[in-house]
Structure 1
Amino acid sequence: MSHPVPIQFQPVDAEVLAKATGRIVVVVDEGGKLGAAGRRLDRLMKGALARYLAAPAFVDQKAGEGTVLAWPAGLAAEAVQVVKLDRKADVAQARKAGGAIGRALSEAGTLVLAEGGRHLAELSFGLALRAYDFTAHKTGSAKVPGPVTLMVPNPEAAAAEAAPLAALAEGVFFTRDLVNEPANVLTTYDFAARLAAMQELGLDVEILEEEDLTKLGMRALLGVGQGSESPSKVVVMHWRGGAKDEAPLALVGKGVVFDTGGISIKPAGGMEEMTMDMGGAGVVAGVMRTLALRKAKANVVGLVGLVENMPDGRAQRPGDVVRSMKGDTIEVINTDAEGRLVLADVLWYAQERFNPCGVIDLATLTGAIIVALGHENTGVFSNNDAFCEQFLKAAKAEGEGAWRMPMGDAYDAKLKSRIADMKNIGGRDGGSITAAQFLQRFVKAETPWIHLDIAGTALLQADTALAPKGATGWGVAALNRMIRDRFEK
């Protein structure tokens, strides 16, 4: 798996700047004021750094962005990058500044001069996130960044503050790797094996096979995968870091490792992106990895339904009726609305077995949410205002876009079936809402519940301040913060 680039924290040493052969990064505030080492660097550059800081170009440079001064005279370094970071920067701006550094690390090493000593943990976290590169299937010699060193006033304090975010970066990378993997590699077997390997971190991991799922009555989930050669599975990951008698928070993820649409087959154009239809399960896995790595003082159980939706001769047909683990019958109108069938059974199982204090499910569930919110925000649906507000607050603090969507009886009525208890779709209008209404039928009235439709945020076609093109890892940071704020204060 991919790992964040190691970042060392060292004391400020002006003499090291003169000998550096890779890239030197100078972090300065909006006033352009340099410390002693920065002034030494400017002298080595024959005043070029100070001239830039006094120029209109620096004034116009946005906070969190970087400008490169190439081939600086008087230095062995290949370039000097000036990154602007306001003294009163928020978390998002500090991470963006780190991302500006991580976007272009040097193979010869990167030396970051941060004499101000502010926002160092968030700066290093943004650097690590943006330096991510998925190269598992590329041949030849890949560009590998050289050592990354942050020169700061108090290295020990900075390293201690950054440590929890290093664990979070590992969780985000794990999620990104899973979402980026092609389906011929990340089969249901391989996915389950990667999760089982996290037992080494202290997680209890249990894999439920098709025989177990049949006995439990998970016919909705099994119906989705019955056309695939890869067997359907449910993986349960339990982290017990809180009090023994404290009910866990349950995270439930949709893990469709590839979605052809089944008999209701998708158009060929863009179908290759359906390797990311396990994004919800990927986020759950990344959160559980983060909790284990940072030894979170909370009880959390993560459950993922792993299936592949294929149009085999045994595949589920439009018009079939399946009975869920709860006992409700579902008329399958469209086999491409399969994720909700998977989640229905796993949601019910999570409540029946663990009696959680709350449930949060994640899924790349509907194209309708992209129509509604684009790629900037995840759709948030909930039956509990206080629980939902806790998540929205955490998402905002982490800079992960999230927007609450409406629910109601009028939407629910669209799921009425002529021959079963419900249909699995409610029509094109309000499609993401009727999908949430379907899931709510498998949530007990007394259970606080949030549904996160991450179809628009799990994988992007353009790079961002903190991620290259591809998987984003959206949600790992927000859920980790929510768990920390709810259980660990």
Structure 2
Amino acid sequence: MTQPVEITFTETAPEKLVDHKGRVALVLTAPDKLPGRLPRAARDAATRALASKAGRALKPGQVLELAFPAGMAADALVLVHLPAGSSQAEARRAGAALGAKLGTAHTLVMAGPSKLAGDLAFGLALRGYDFDAYKTKPVDPDAAPKSGATIPEAEAASDDAVLSDAQAADRADAPAEPIGDRARVTIMVKDPESLARQARDAAAVAEGVFFTRDLVNEPANVLTTTDFADRLLAMRELGLEVEVLDEDELAKLGMRALLAVGQGSESPSKVVVMRWNGGGDEAPLALVGKGVVFDTGGISIKPGAGMEEMTMDMGGAGVVAGTMRALALRRAKANVVGLVGLVENMPDGRAYRPGDILKSMKGDTIEVVNTDAEGRLVLADVLWYAQETYQPRAVIDLATLTGAVIIALGHDNAGVFSNDDALADQILAAARTEGEGAWRLPLGKSYDSLINCRLADMKNTGGRAAGSITAAQFLARFIKDGQPWAHIDIAGVTLPPSATDLAPKGATGWGVMTLDRLVRDRFEGQ
């Protein structure tokens, strides 16, 4: 998997600034105070830059860069505006501004006594992500920053850019060879040992975010249901208990709704269960993820334009997997079970059809009116299995479920639905703390009536009106009475059209930080 940039903490040593080869960044807690021992020419240039229109316009968390500062060995001197009293979000944005232009040079950051150095490091790590597993040539760092570089459209459209199944299998089995040297960052602070200890948990979360981003960014000819399951099985080495349920086992359990979705694909359907037992004997929190590794829409096939992005339809499963990885790496003192339903929705002679009536594991029947409303069928069976098997304290499912939530909330917020006000409030509070956008949307009987059906207990979509709400109402029918539950529709935030504060263009890993914070604040040690 893509590894976060190597970040180390060391004692503040101003004398090292002059001779450092690479990039030097200075955290400025006041606009008129330049820390460190800079040559006079470099100090004068920095002072002029800060007094310029661009310098005066700097907001907390923003940076100003001077190329090839006079009298210094550095390629660039970066002035980081982070005044005393800046917020966690501003510190992370400051780090992200550094992470966006890491290249392969060694970056030396003089953070001094800043209490926000840990958040700066976290933002730097998150924004320094670069998924380059399929690039055969290094990117010119002067032409485009390493972080966030993309395959040119002409190359992406060429036959040479498409891997055959055999090539994909070889690529999946062989470890990726890095292009060039990995970037390194050294942060000089007043108390490096204390900060390094605090940064360990943040490093675990960053690795979880990267794991999720990698999964979402992978092409579907590599990330098959089998490959996905194998990557989760490999997390046994972290202390997770991982079990894979194959199609025969799913059929015995009665998961006919989930199996119907995948029956048109050569890729076998699976459910993977990951357990982290760090909290004693209490019932676990259950996290459930939709894992449609590719979604054509099935017989109700999607338009061709943009269908290549349907590799991200396993985003909910990716978030659950990344969260479980983070919890295991930081040895969370909580019991959490993560369950993901892995399928591929393809049109085929064996594919399920509009008009089919399916029987779920719960026993309820479902008329399929649109095979592109498949994620809720997968989640219905996995949600019921999670409750029947683990009697969880709470259930949270995540899914790239509806385009309707993008119409409602755009790409800035995930949609949160819940039958429990306390759980919803806890999720929203965790999202606010971590700076991940989330907004609660309603449930109600009038919406529920839209999925009533003449031929079966329900139909799998209520049409265009309130599309994200009727999808949530469908899932609510598979939640037991009295079971605290929340559904998070992450369709808009999983693969937004442009870079975000903490992620280059591509997969964001939205949700790993929120769920880790929720576990930390509400479920550990209780």
Q: TM-score, normalised by structure 1?
A: 0.97
Secondary structure, in 3 states, of the residue corresponding to 1:41?
coil
C-alpha offsets along residues 112-158 of structure 1, whole Å, 9 cap, x if unaligned? 11113221111100000000000111112435443210011111111
- Structure 1 distance, partners of 2:27, 2:513, is 25
Question: Bigger shift: 138-147 or 376-385?
Answer: 138-147
1:488 shift after superposition: 2.3
Aligned to 2:325: 289
| Structure-1 separation of matches of 2:421 and 2:471 | 19
1:106, distance to aligned residue in structure 2 (A): 4.1
Match of 2:201 in 1: 164
Q: Say yes or no: does 1:196 pair with 2:233.
A: yes
78, 81, 84: which one pairs with 1:84? Answer: 81
The answer to whether the 8 Å contact 1:460/1:470 transfers is yes
- Distance between the aligned counterparts of 1:72 and 1:154, measured in 2? 28
SS in 2 for 1:45: helix
Asked if residue 407 in structure 1 is aligned to residue 448 in structure 2, the reply is: no
Match of 1:475 in 2: 511
Cα distance between partner residues in 2 of 1:253 and 1:59: 46
Displacement after TM superposition at 1:44 (Å)? 5.7
Distance 1:395 1:422 in 2: 33
Give the residue type in structure 2 aligned to 1:181. Answer: E
Give runs of aligned pairs for residues 24-63 of structure 1, distance below 5 A.
24-35=24-35, 37=36, 40-41=37-38, 43=40, 45-63=42-60
One-letter amino acid matched to 1:277: D
Partner residue in 2 for 1:238: 275
- Name the stretch that deviates more: 64-73 or 291-300: 64-73
Report the more deviating stretch, 285-294 or 117-126: 117-126
Question: What residue number does 2:8 align with?
Answer: 8
Seen in structure 2, the aligned counterparts of structure 1 residues 140 and 55 have a Cα distance that, compared at 3 Å, is: closer
String of CA shifts for 1:288-314, please: whole Å, max 9, x gaps.
000000000000000000000000100
Aligned partner of 1:22 in structure 2 is 22
In the alignment, structure 1 residue 440 sits paired with structure 2 residue 476: yes
Say whether the 8 Å CA contact 1:250–1:303 is kept in structure 2: yes
**Matching residue within 339, 363, 370 for 2:399:** 363
Q: CA deviation at 1:13?
A: 1.2
Q: 2:387 aligns with which of 315, 328, 351?
A: 351
For the pair 1:66 / 2:63, whether they are aligned, the reply is: yes
8 Å Cα contact 2:264/2:352 also seen in 1: yes
Does the residue aligned with 2:498 lie in a helix, a strand or coil? coil
Q: CA RMSD in A?
A: 1.1
Q: Does 1:384 align with 2:381?
A: no
Hey, what's the Cα distance between the residues in 2 that align with 1:453 and 1:20?
A: 47
Matched letter for residue 14 of structure 1: P
Measure the CA separation in 1 of the matches of 2:12 and 2:392.
49
Instruction: Compute the TM-score of the two structures, normalised by the length of structure 2.
Output: 0.91
- Name the counterpart of 1:249: 285
For 1:121 and 1:266, the matched residues in 2 are separated by: 44
- What letter is aligned with 1:180? N
Distance in 1 between the 2:180 and 2:94 partners? 22
Moved over 6 A (4+): none
Moved more, 276-285 or 63-72: 63-72
> Is the CA contact 2:6–2:183 (under 8 Å) kept in the aligned structure 1?
no
Secondary structure, counterpart of 1:18 in structure 2: coil
Tell me the alpha carbon deviations over residues 97-121 of structure 1, each in whole angstroms, 9 at most, x when there is no partner: 1000101114231111111322111
Deviations 1:253-282 (A, max 9, x none): 000000000000000000000000000000
Does the aligned pair in 2 maintain the 1:42–1:48 contact within 8 Å?
A: no
Q: Which of 308, 314, 319 is residue 350 of structure 2 equivalent to?
A: 314
* AA of the residue aligned to 1:18: V
Which residue number in structure 2 is paired with residue 425 of structure 1? Answer: 461
Matches within 5 A, 1:102-117: 102-117=99-114
More deviation, 185-194/134-143: 134-143
SS at match of 1:158: helix
User: Against the structure 1 CA distance between its residues 279 and 294, is the aligned structure 2 distance closer, same or farther, given a 3 Å change threshold?
Assistant: same
SS in 2 for 1:381: strand
CA distance 1:255–1:32, shift in 2 (3 Å): farther
The answer to whether residue 261 in structure 2 is matched with residue 221 in structure 1 is no
In structure 2, distance between residues paired with 1:47 and 1:9: 28
Is 1:120–1:162's contact at 8 Å kept on the other side of the alignment?
Answer: no
2:487 to 451, 464, 467: 451
**Over residues 41-75 of structure 1, what are the superposed CA-to-partner deviations in whole Å (9 max), with x where a residue is unaligned?**
25361522223334443221111111111111111
Percentage of matched positions with identical amino acids: 65
Larger displacement relative to structure 2 (468-477 or 77-86):
77-86
Secondary structure in structure 2 of the residue aligned to 1:468: coil
For the residue of structure 2 that corresponds to 1:460, the secondary structure is: coil
SS in 1 for 2:112: coil
Once residues 293 and 410 of structure 2 are traced to their aligned partners in structure 1, the CA distance between those partners, rounded to angstroms, is 23
Which deviations, in whole Å up to 9, do the C-alpha atoms of 1:151-189 show, x marking residues without a partner? 111111111111110000000000000000000000000
Aligned to 1:138, which of 135, 152, 161? 135
For residues 43 and 29 of structure 2, what CA distance do their matches in structure 1 show?
A: 21
Q: Aligned in 2, Cα 1:42/1:394: closer, same or farther, shift over 3 Å? A: farther
Q: 2:94 is matched with which residue: 94, 97, 104?
A: 97
* Counterpart-to-counterpart distance in 2, 1:437 and 1:14: 60
1:275 matches 2:311: yes
Contact 1:109–1:145 under 8 Å retained in 2: no
Shift of 1:456: 0.1
Work out whether residues 46 and 74 of structure 1, in 8 Å CA contact, stay in contact via their aligned partners in 2. Answer: no
Measure the CA separation in 2 of the matches of 1:111 and 1:64: 17
CA contact (8 A) 1:42 1:49 kept: no
Matched, 1:263 2:260: no
Do the aligned partners of residues 188 and 110 (structure 1) sit closer, same or farther apart at CA in structure 2, a change above 3 Å counting? Answer: same
Q: Which amino acid aligns with 2:84?
A: R
1:34 match: secondary structure? coil
SS in 2 for 1:371: helix
The residue number in structure 2 matching 1:174 is 211
Residues 30/438 of structure 1: CA separation in 2 closer, same or farther (3 Å cut) = farther
Q: Take 2:230 and 2:39, find their aligned partners in 1: how far apart are those partners?
A: 53
Partner of 2:191: 154
Counterpart Cα distance in 1 of 2:29 and 2:103: 23
Q: How many residues matched?
A: 485
Whether the aligned pair in 1 keeps the contact of 2:18 and 2:39 (CA below 8 Å) is: no
AA at the equivalent of 1:176: R
Aligned mates of 2:30, 2:255 — CA distance in 1: 58
Which letter maps to 2:34? L
